[in-house]
Amino acid sequence: MAAMACTSAAAGASALVASTSACSSSASSVMGTRVAMAPLRVSRVACRGLVAVSASAAAVEKQAEEKTVQRLLGIYQEKVVPALQEEFKYENKFEIPAVKKIIVNCGVGEASQNAKALEGTIRDIALVTGQKAVVTRSRKAIAGFKLREGVPVGVTLTLRGEVMYAFLDRLLNLALPRTRDFQGVNPYSFDGKGNYTLGLPEISVFPEIKFENIDKVRGLDVCIVTTAKNDAEGHKLLSLMGMPFKEMGGGRMSASAAKKATRVTFRGRRR
């Protein structure tokens, strides 16, 4: 009897061990299923994050494409480039002339004696061009002009990119038409390499300058540097962009001949 009881106890213990192992295996299988499902959820979240990032990148790219191009730059790309290529028969698009930079100069002779004049000029130039100017100083002393070495004599700056096109647009369409007795600019002010220099007698022709804030009337020198190879290409480029050149009869002549032709005569003599 004792042997039969031990046998039954051993069988019960083995059954209990088997059931425990089965429960543990089932639990492990369930846990394994949960562990297997967790990476799936993580991957879904990661995919959603990637989709959101890609959507935001696409929105930024679309916004960059929809960014408004400066008006004069758009005119150059759409109208001026095809016209120049058709007239001069360029084989390469990089040969087509373009405006490279614009240099603006303004002399302030009284800056060595009056610091407020220099500050006012810098302020006015910044309002007109949208860029702060650099002070230029004298390189040597000149006793006749009461000038010492290193004193400020003017301001200068260089414009490039969209700021350059914005300034040139306002110069051609707003400032020049407001000049007193304006009849056009001199078509012979090229330097032989396609670069054009223009002088404005008053900086107040720009609408940004308020007349009541001007302490003294000052002029402005504008040098338009282009990539043209000669004056003919530079003249055509600027004329297509809207430069109001003065009509001079009888074909092209030298700059000295043009100056002599425009002089005023008094009693049969040149003065």
Is the pLDDT at 264 greater than 50, yes or no?
Answer: no
Write down the pLDDT at residue 180: 86
pTM: 0.66
The residue among 214 and 81 whose pLDDT is bigger is 81
Write down the pLDDT at residue 63: 52
Pick from 69-78, 107-116, 142-151: least confident: 107-116
Phi then psi for residue 203, to 5 deg, are -80, -15
Is the pLDDT at 146 greater than 70, yes or no?
Answer: yes
Distance CA 172, CA 243 (A): 6
Q: What is the mean pLDDT of residues 67-92?
A: 89
Distance CA 213, CA 270 (A): 40
Write down the pLDDT at residue 249: 56
Q: Which two tokens stand for residue 181?
A: 């007795």
Distance CA 243, CA 248 (A): 15
Q: Name 142's bridge partners.
A: 147
Write down the pLDDT at residue 9: 45
The rounded radius of gyration (Å) of the Cα atoms in the chain is: 39
The CATH class, in words, for 66-246 is: alpha beta
